[in-house]
Amino acid sequence: MAKEIYSRYPLIKYLRKEALPTALCPGCGGGTVLNAFANAVDQLKIDPKDLVVVSGIGCSAWIASPYFLADTLHTTHGRAIAFATGVKVGLPDKKVVVISGDGDLASIGGNHLLHAARRNIDITVILVNNFIYGMTGGQVAPTTPFGAKTTTSPYRNIEHPLQISETIAAAGASYVARWTTAHVYQLIESIKKAIQVKGFSLVEVISQCPVQFGRRNRMKEPAEMLRWYLKNSVPISKAKNMSPEELEGKFVIGEFVNRERPEFVTELNKLIDEVQEHFGLKGE
């Protein structure tokens, strides 16, 4: 029965059949992100052999490894972007994509995220933001909304969340966009743009975690969380004319930046050529 179901999925060629069905919780948004990424790769006609997909530790890290059929690196907690940087410098012709969660990329690995954007290295980061440390028990995270409940903030969270997309846009990334798992077609288009951009690109995906986040915040069903996203999503064009008070509890969606800046690996190779020419080593 499982093989029959898989055979009807048009993008099954991009997935590791031996790893299916996924270990993701029922209603998890990770499957939506995996499907969106596979659609983007398919629509761009990218050969998976030209991809290196990197992940860290956490629920969202499983999207890349073990489920996506390409060369993958399942790395240590918070270090996915550091590994991806090494891959891109060593194999500049490869398309390098990082897929992991907010706890892995924006908390434990926050410095790597910030400085990869500053360097503008040509890697794409798909950051799955479910507002919580899902795999380890539902603890409060730097992305947990103000007032939300978690296992380690059972009464309410009194910290304001890190605005990831705004921060990475300010750090110097070439492309930054944010969508939710309720905006699938827009998400696919942004992933396609991010992969094609020359420079650092981030696509933040606000994704439901009904098991750890939803049930503690009166949204036990995945559909309730999706309706919450749709009800509270504000296009960036509209958000520019709203006050901070009006934007409290809202999800600003859309493209934050799409610009050209010097790219790190290109500049590094230029520097190597300059030094070799200066010391008469060119061609050796």
State residue 284's pLDDT score.
63
Per-10-residue mean pLDDT, the chain, length 284? 72 94 94 98 97 97 96 97 98 98 96 98 98 94 96 96 97 98 98 98 98 95 97 97 95 98 97 92 73
Domains of the chain and CATH, by start: 24-236+243-279 (3.40.50.970)
What pLDDT sits at residue 2? 58
3-state secondary structure string across the chain: CHHHHHHCCCCHHHECHHHCCCCCCCCCCHHHHHHHHHHHHHHCCCCHHHEEEEECCCHHHHHCCCCECCEEEECCCCCHHHHHHHHHHHCCCCEEEEEEEHHHHHHHCHHHHHHHHHHCCCCEEEEEECCCECCCCCECCCCCCCCCCCCCCCCCCCCCCCCHHHHHHHHCCCEEEEEECCCHHHHHHHHHHHHHCCCCEEEEEECCCCCCCHHHHCCCCHHHHHHHHHHHEEEHHHHCCCCHHHHCCCEEEEEEEECCCCCHHHHHHHHHHHHHHHCCCCCC
Look at residue 7 in the predicted model and tell me its pLDDT: 73
